[in-house]
Amino acid sequence: MSMQLMLVARAHGYDTNPMAGYDKDRIAEVFHLDKERFQPVMLLSIGKASKEGYPSYRLPVDTIATWA
Ligand SMILES: Cc1cc2nc3c(=O)[nH]c(=O)nc-3n(C[C@H](O)[C@H](O)[C@H](O)COP(=O)(O)O)c2cc1C
């Protein structure tokens, strides 16, 4: 679902950034959400990038996964 949202945002000219490293105990409170109802999974920022993106490196899938 997050990936779809990121792709749709991009298609409409917005940039996104997924984050997992945030204070999950406080996020509901900060966004005025019901802590008992919503379980934090991932934080996704959406906006217009202030700087151009840059290329970065990812290990090839064959290096990090084996297929049985
Ligand atoms: C599910 C998910 C969670 C992420 N969480 C974090 C995060 O908590 N902190 C962070 O610095 N980058 C996080 N990232 C990576 C950033 O979104 C971003 O891709 C990365 O900072 C880009 O750096 P790089 O391409 O130069 O390696 C996460 C990526 C994914 C897909």
Pocket mutation for ligand 1, best pick of 4, 16, 19, 44 (most atoms within 8 Å of C-beta): 19
Instruction: Give the model's pLDDT for residue 67.
Output: 87
- Cβ atoms of 40 and 16 closer than 8 Å: no
Distance of CA 7 to the CA centre of its chain: 11
Taking Cα atoms as reference points, which of 56, 51, 54, 43 lies closest to residue 6?
Answer: 43
Tens-digit pLDDT profile for residues 4-62: 999 999 999 999 999 999 999 999 999 999 999 999 999 999 999 999 889 999 999 99
* Predicted local distance difference test score (pLDDT) of residue 30: 93
Which pLDDT does position 53 carry in this prediction?
85
Dihedral over alpha carbons 8, 44, 2, 64 (to 10 degrees): 120
Give the position, in ligand 1's atom list, of the atom nearest the Cα of 19.
5
pLDDT for residue 23: 94
Atom of ligand 1 nearest to the CA of 42: 1
